[in-house]
């Protein structure tokens, strides 16, 4: 905790709020994905719908870090 003193000499304590860890939120998303039982084909078809059919955008979406966190797995594209 940080301490500060004012003119009268009193010591005022100021606490810090702990920021939530990213791991816990990623764990919640991962458990939700496990409940849904998605296949790789479902993920790729959803990415095609989202990207409007552009292959480069689909690859970018599927291999993104957000997708990796959500699925708990890393998807690698090999041409």
5-54 per-position pLDDT tens digit: 566 767 777 777 777 666 666 666 666 666 667 788 888 888 899 888 88
Inside any domain, residue 6: no
Residues β-bridged to residue 13: 3
Inside any domain, residue 65: yes
Inside any domain, residue 33: no
Inside any domain, residue 48: yes
Inside any domain, residue 21: no
**Structural domains counted in the chain:** 1
* Confidence at 2, pLDDT banded by 50, 70, 90: low
pLDDT digits (tens, 9 = 90+) for 54-69: 889 988 988 998 888 8
Inside any domain, residue 64: yes
Inside any domain, residue 46: yes
Whether the predicted model's global pTM rises above the 0.75 cut: no
Give the containing element (helix H, strand E) for 3: strand 2-5
* Confidence at 73, pLDDT banded by 50, 70, 90: confident
Residue of 79, 75, 38 whose CA lies nearest to 55: 79
**Domain with 60 in it:** 39-74
Inside any domain, residue 61: yes
The position carrying tokens 């458990």 is 31
């Amino acid at each position: 905790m940080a301490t500060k003193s004012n003119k009268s000499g009193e010591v005022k304590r100021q606490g810090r709020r702990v920021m939530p860890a990213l791991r816990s939120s990623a764990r919640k998303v991962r458990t939700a994905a496990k409940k849904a039982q998605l296949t790789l084909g479902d993920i790729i078809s959803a990415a095609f719908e989202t990207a409007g059919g552009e292959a480069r955008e689909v690859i970018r979406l599927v291999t993104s870090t957000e997708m990796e966190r959500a699925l708990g797995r890393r998807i690698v594209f090999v041409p």
